[in-house]
Chains A and B, each alone.
Chain A
Amino acid sequence: MTDTLTATARHDAQPAALLEVSGLVAGYGQGEVLHAVDLSVPAGSVVAVVGANGAGKSTLLRVLSGLLPAAAGTVRFDGDDLASAAVEDRIRRGIVHVPEGRHAVAELTVDENLRLGGLWRGDRRELRADVDAAYDLFPALAARRTSHGHALSGGERQMLAIARALVAHPRLLLLDEPSLGLAPRIVAEILGTLAHLRAERGLAILLVEQNVRSALSVADTGVVLNLGSVVAARPSAALLDDEQLRHAYLGF
């Protein structure tokens, strides 16, 4: 009992968020897309960012992975400000981004694509084991290991992109629209795998989705983004129950 209390007290004094974003401003050229966004992702949790088209969801992920520079604000990851770190360095810290569009490298085989995810660690044997583990998670990929990226179906490409990100040993996975254009059965399979990874490895996931219901069904917290600002950040269940918010920003 005392132990629990102390733990809670410590937890309150120092919230153990893996990712802590505050006052984040970013955009393209003169056009500001994100206006002072605050957001936090606790270790081992799934946070869904939802909102209409053009709300700035993908832009947010691009800034977090370093593809797009932040104009202002901080991106604290595990205590360090990474707001100006390069993409390649953020991966080495554990932030791995799977952008929308299932980027399998068309000219490489499935096996090469997967190995690409962990090349930077420079350990051949460990890489082989990680790639084999990815095949265990996505058996559909194991059957196609020598196929080239351009020969894969949409679902296989999405699996490949996620599997490749996992080979990089992420602590935080940034997932952009994993369900876009995929059959519901495949979406369920991918989401199931992610839930499993979160339970097994304590992987934190920041998920961007148009499909609000399926996103909130797997997320602990939902963040509603509207025109580049956060209008709500609540437990998923509470968001789904708030009819006003749903009507106003989520359209159902």
Chain B
Amino acid sequence: MDVPILLLAGTGLARGAIFAAFALALVLIWRAARIANFAQGAMATVSCYVAFHVTALTGNYWLGLAAALVSGAVLGWVVERGVMRFVDRSNPLAAVIVAIGLVMVLTSTLAIAFGADYRPMPAPFPREPIRIGDVAVISPYSLFVLAVVAVLMLALALLFTRTGVGLAMRAAAFAPEVSRLNGVRVDRMRTLGWTLSAAVGGLAALLVIPTELGLNPHAADLLFVYAFTVAIVGGLDSPVGAVVAGLAIGVILTFVTAFAGATFAPIAIVVILLGVLLVRPQGLFAAREARVA
């Protein structure tokens, strides 16, 4: 059998870029609020339903994409203002349990409103690979995914390193009390962190769904599991870790699936997770032990 190495690598990178984006959303919330947001998959799925319907109504993929971003941001804002800010922060388990409750509410609401069927999600570009001569190189959709995620990363990097708001968000994440003493409205930065994170999560889910079975109330469950692994491997408070670990795990999973079969992918994930937790439990890219709430 002739193995299309190039194609697998490109597909793996595109998949990894989506994992990275979704993991980055988890990192954003972790840094802003010290909460591992177990509801992120369900929240992102809600955004995808909004995008699906906007695209269906207008016939325009790009309007759907914009709708995913906007509805994600709104949902993040609502969840933080309406639910998460009332959670007892002295007990780290409280937020996890509330998040799991949120998953149940969101997922069953989606199932009641739209049913549990898989709906085909349109992709804006073909998923068949471009061929150069006899060699399959990469699909236009994978290129599109890589471009979107690259723009997203660049925008976030600029936000955090070049703007006052970004500086305030980083300071509030690392040292909330010192930040308040310097006039930073830390609670607003936390809300902003949730808003940004949910927008990024919605976008990532929108990108992954056309490569899977389709839209369904559980469509982002697997993405959440992979991205959560990525975030732990990279270090929950490290954006760079999320990107590097995301790309690496995307490529590894794609090759494992190609050579060993799809059943081995979840096993590979568990092996990677265990290995990292044994050797470096704070994550590969965490500068120091992640500060606990």
Query: Which A residues are closer than 8 A to B by beta carbons?
Result: 65, 67, 87-88, 91-92, 96-99, 103, 105-108, 112, 115-117, 119-120, 122, 124, 127, 164, 168
Contacts and interface: CB of A to CB of B under 8 A. Distances in A.
Interface string B266-293: 0000000000000000000001000000
Contact of A88 (B167, B171, B184): B184
B175 A103 contact: yes
Nearest to B178: A103
B91 interface: no
A112 B287 CA distance: 18
Interface string B176-188: 0111111111000
Contact of A116 (B168, B177, B287): B168
- List the 8 closest A-B pairs by CB distance, nearest first: A120-B183, A91-B183, A103-B178, A105-B175, A107-B174, A87-B180, A116-B182, A119-B164
Contacts of A168: 182-183
A102 to B, nearest CB: 10
A67 B177 contact: yes
B174 A105 contact: yes
A117 B183 CA distance: 7
14 contacts: A65-B181, A67-B180, A91-B181, A91-B182, A97-B181, A105-B171, A107-B170, A108-B171, A108-B174, A115-B167, A116-B184, A119-B182, A119-B184, A164-B182
Given A87-B180, A88-B180, A122-B164, A116 B171 contact: yes
Interface string B184-198: 110000000000000
B21 to A, nearest CB: 23
Given A107-B287, A112-B167, A120 B178 contact: no
Interface of B: 164, 167-168, 170-171, 174-175, 177-185, 287
Given A103-B175, A107-B170, A117 B287 contact: no
Contact of A105 (B178, B180, B185, B287): B178
A88 B174 contact: no
A188 to B, nearest CB: 26
A169 to B, nearest CB: 10
Contacts of B171: 105, 108, 112, 116
A65 B177 CA distance: 12
A117 B182 contact: yes
Nearest to A117: B182
Contacts of A103: 175, 177-178, 181
Contacts of B179: 105, 116
A87 B164 contact: no
Nearest to A97: B181
Nearest to B237: A107
A116 B167 contact: yes
A103 B287 CA distance: 19
B87 to A, nearest CB: 21
Of B171, B174, B182, B185, the most chain A CB neighbours within 10 A belong to B182
Contacts of B175: 103, 105-106
Given A105-B171, A107-B170, A119-B167, A99 B181 contact: yes
A106 B174 contact: yes
Nearest to A92: B183
B193 to A, nearest CB: 16
Of A91, A112, A119, the most chain B CB neighbours within 10 A belong to A119
